[in-house]
Amino acid sequence: MLLATRNAQKLVELRRILASSDISGVQVLGLDDVPPFPEIPETAATFEGNALAKARDAAAATGLATVADDSGLEVDALNGMPGVLSARWAGRHGDDAANLQLVLDQLADVPEDRRGAAFVCAAALAVLPGVDTPGVETVVRGHWRGTLTRAARGRNGFGYDPIFVPDGDRRTSAELEPAEKDALSHRGQALLALLPALRELLSPASSRS
């Protein structure tokens, strides 16, 4: 199975979530493990649209069952932004430090009671149709509420994790242990919601009986 990402930290996280489930015996590859192909830009207006486009694109190029995700931070005081622009909020895709600092700068004068935010993740599964099997497309969503700090804390996460404090906790997402984060996070929720489709895909005999 292919996880359509080049983000090494995200790939580790997604592999860990799948490994902790009851799905076993699956070799999980990332985009750097397969021959390169032209990748479409993330231009959809929603997380779901981007995730499904990436999954379709990679499945068509490789022939592999593909999971893709698109995730980001929605900040209440910024009217839901950066949203789908989270990875390139500061202008260059994947510059985590610049993206995080820009959000902190934009919220510099925002009081504590208005610093609410949510991590959102859409995860998509795409499988090409075969001779005797239909194609598969499934899209699910995870949602993780919290508040934003005024300074980064923690080293266990990436992206906006160091400034996001989940509701009910005092630690940032980057201060949580990996297993804790997997159980709570937007990506963990989305992957959990995707497991039934993955089980059906990986157990075709039982699904037809």
Looking at the annotation, which residues are catalytic? Answer: 70
186-202 vs 8-19: helix axis angle to the nearest 10?
60
Q: Assign 82 to helix, strand or coil.
A: strand
DSSP letter assigned to residue 10: H
- Cβ atoms within 10 Å, residue 123: 30
Helix/strand/coil (H, E, C) string of 108-146?
CCCCHHHCEEEEEEEEEEEECCCCCCCCEEEEEEEEEEE
Burial 60-74 (b: 16+ CB within 10 A, else e): ebbebbbbbbbbbbb
Question: Closest Cα partner for 188 from 1, 7, 14?
Answer: 14
Q: How far apart are CA 87 and CA 54, in angstroms?
A: 15
20, 88 Cβ separation under 8 angstroms: no
